[in-house]
Amino acid sequence: MTTWNKPLPTVSGETRPFWDACRRGQLLIQKCDRCGEFQFYPRGICANCWSEDIRWVTASGKGTVWTYTVTYQNRTPGFAEDVPYVLALVELEEGVRMFTNIVECPPRDVSIGMPVEVTFVQANNQISVPYFKPAG
Amino acid sequence: MPDLKRTAAIVGIHEHVTRYAPDKSELQIQGESVIKALEDAGLAKQDVDGLLTASSSSRNSGLALADYLNMYPSYVDNTTVGGGSFEFHLSHCLNAIAAGRMNCAVITYSSLARSGGVSVGTGGVGRFGHPRLEPSPDSFEELYGLTTVGLYAMIAQRHMHLYGTTSEQLAEIAVAVRHHASMNPEALFRNPITVEDVVNSRMISAPLHLPDCCVITDGGGAVVVASAEVVRNCRHTPVWVLGAGEAVAHQGAGKRDLQYIAARQSHGPAFEMAGVTHDDIDMAMIYDSFTITVLETLEDLGFCEKGEGGDFVSGGRLKVGGELPINTDGGGLSSNHPGMRGIFLLMEATRQLRHEFEGTPRQVPNCNIALCHGTGGALGTRHSGGTAILGRD
Ligand SMILES: [Zn+2]
């Protein structure tokens, strides 16, 4: 494993199940038992109906590129040496969008609406980061 | 809605002309600006009982600023919602004056964004070394190399996808604003540019090229806002706050359509309060962090339909002499952008409504009503929008 030079997430009680699941290769989102809505990013309440009846569900890990940008300049270590890279918002099949990078694909081949699927890259023993690649 | 028209007016302004001031402190720039803005108004320190500022650090919060200025205001507002904070401040001034909580306020801001080496647009989260990310939302965003430019570029990319908007159309905005900068001796960049110049320049975050992005400067300024009673003692024709509205927009738990921005919510109350329509607006100061910001704002303010912004900004419409001149000071794209820029929108609208440039090409003819819209934060994650409609008697 190479040295991880990019930012790492801070895990809290509110978000630990998400990061634990990433380590197992699963992408979790949340669903409200009162209103039935999915939500992302994870939080301790339902942002839609303000209930506390939320649970974690495993997403299919499939979605489409909602929008993206090919980044040519970023001074942050880990990204500065990675340009050009694709920053994207992916809309999951469940209807929520998440930030990600599109990997295993030349930037020029990325397009809005392109089907993608989740893939995990291990940053260290605790953290695996979810990315998306063209659907196989 | 109570009628607040002609309750509060902008009576003094001062733009600190510095674009690079490594030897000054931010508080010093604010202090110098407050003094000159009060001079402009014809008022003095003892007339001021309200203090409003925006700051991303406690270093120059309302508290630190009151200390530096040695003042004891009865109304303090530190609302900080990004670059458009100052349109929120003006809105709050209107409320506080209408409620009798204060009679005369200064709104002030300063930043040493340039001499401090702050790569506002492309620095990313770790330009000064990796910070500890907040568990959320940062830990679900910053892992992927977000930049401020990138978060606007993503909205531009989807606008192009949905509506066929082109880089050339976005460039029209940069060209119009640079044309105005060429008439402002204080503007950082004054040499005219063409659409070809813009689309052939370096890509920062596709589809945004370098001239699609605002400049980074030091700077600051102050705006004095007074009650109708205080207005009578002032030097200049008052610039009344006719209407104001504010809004925030975010990802909506992963579901909101990010193509629509806060301006969509903030403009309705401002127009309703002012009792005017879009046709009444003689010029507009539109926060131009990026060209796409202007395009999205014009659409969501209702100057054209969603998706029609590309056509709307073309053909010289945005230049003085066109149907809707914008950013006649050269905007953030060409004149100055010290971290946040919303305060300068209020200043240039005031200059235009005072007819300060009468007899020169910079003056918008018969300028009686102006609109300012500040956008702060980032369109792709979360941002604010404040609309203010200003008018002269
Ligand atoms: Zn719910």
Q: Is it the case that residue B353 has pLDDT exceeding 70?
A: yes
User: pLDDT tier at B308 (50, 70, 90 boundaries)?
Assistant: very high
Tokens of B336: 């100055």
Percent with pLDDT over 70 in chain A: 99
How much is the pLDDT for B116? Answer: 80
B378–chain A nearest CA distance, Å: 14
**Contact assignment for A72 to B205 by CB distance below 8 Å:** yes
What residues in B contact A87, CB-CB < 8 Å?
Answer: 144-147, 150, 154, 205
User: pLDDT tier at A2 (50, 70, 90 boundaries)?
Assistant: low
Amino acid at site B191: N
Q: Is it the case that residue B3 has pLDDT exceeding 90?
A: no
**Contact assignment for B253 to A78 by CB distance below 8 Å:** no
Q: Which residue is closest to B259 within chain A, CA to CA? A: A67
Q: Is it the case that residue B129 has pLDDT exceeding 70?
A: yes
- What domains can be seen in chain B, in order of their start residue? 8-114+218-241 (3.40.47.10), 145-215+243-391 (3.40.47.10)
What residues in A contact B126, CB-CB < 8 Å?
Answer: 7, 75-79
Determine if residue B350 is left, alpha or beta; phi over 0 gives left, psi from -120 to 50 gives alpha, anything else beta: alpha
Express each pLDDT in B16-29 by its tens digit: 988 888 888 889 99
d(CA B75, CA B264): 30
What residues in B contact A47, CB-CB < 8 Å?
Answer: 252-253
Amino acid at site B61: S
- What domains can be seen in chain A, in order of their start residue? 16-134 (2.40.50.840)
Tokens of B347: 């200043």
**Contact assignment for A67 to B147 by CB distance below 8 Å:** no
Give the Cβ contact number of residue B265 at 10 Å: 17
Average pLDDT over residues A68-87: 95
User: pLDDT tier at B126 (50, 70, 90 boundaries)?
Assistant: confident
Angstrom distances, CA of residue A25 to CA of A58, A86, A130, B321: 10, 22, 8, 60
**Contact assignment for A69 to B153 by CB distance below 8 Å:** yes
Percent with pLDDT over 90 in chain B: 87
Nearest to B205 among A41, A67, A71 (CB): A71
Average pLDDT over residues A106-124: 98
Nearest to B5 by CA among B92, B84, B90, B98: B98
Distance B183 CA to ligand 1 centre (A): 54
Tell me how many residue pairs between chain A and chain B have CB atoms under 8 A apart: 152
How much is the pLDDT for A1? Answer: 53
Angstrom distances, CA of residue B289 to CA of B151, B173, B216, B378: 12, 12, 10, 10
Distance A45 CA to ligand 1 centre (A): 8
**Contact assignment for B254 to A40 by CB distance below 8 Å:** yes
Express each pLDDT in B312-328 by its tens digit: 999 999 999 999 999 99
- Residue B181 contacts residue B334 (beta carbons within 8 Å): yes
A96–chain B nearest CA distance, Å: 5
Express each pLDDT in B149-158 by its tens digit: 999 999 999 9
What residues in B contact A66, CB-CB < 8 Å?
Answer: 158
How much is the pLDDT for B108? Answer: 97
Distance A33 CA to ligand 1 centre (A): 7
Q: Is it the case that residue B331 has pLDDT exceeding 70?
A: yes
Strand order in the sheet with A28-32: A38-39, A28-32, A54-58
> What pTM, to 2 d.p., does this model score?
0.97
Mean pLDDT value across chain A:
96
How much is the pLDDT for B117? Answer: 74
Distance A57 CA to ligand 1 centre (A): 14
Q: What is the 3-state secondary structure (H, E, C) of B177-196?
A: HHHHHCCCCCCCCCCCCCHH
**Contact assignment for B154 to A87 by CB distance below 8 Å:** yes
Q: Is it the case that residue B342 has pLDDT exceeding 60?
A: yes
Distance A47 CA to ligand 1 centre (A): 7
- Residue B33 contacts residue B16 (beta carbons within 8 Å): yes
Average pLDDT over residues B56-68: 87
User: pLDDT tier at B202 (50, 70, 90 boundaries)?
Assistant: very high
Q: Which residue is closest to A131 within chain B, CA to CA? A: B144
Q: Which residue is closest to B149 within chain A, CA to CA? A: A71
Question: Is the Cα dihedral B250, B255, B259, B260 positive or negative?
Answer: negative
How much is the pLDDT for B221? Answer: 96
Average pLDDT over residues B303-318: 97
**Contact assignment for B130 to A101 by CB distance below 8 Å:** no
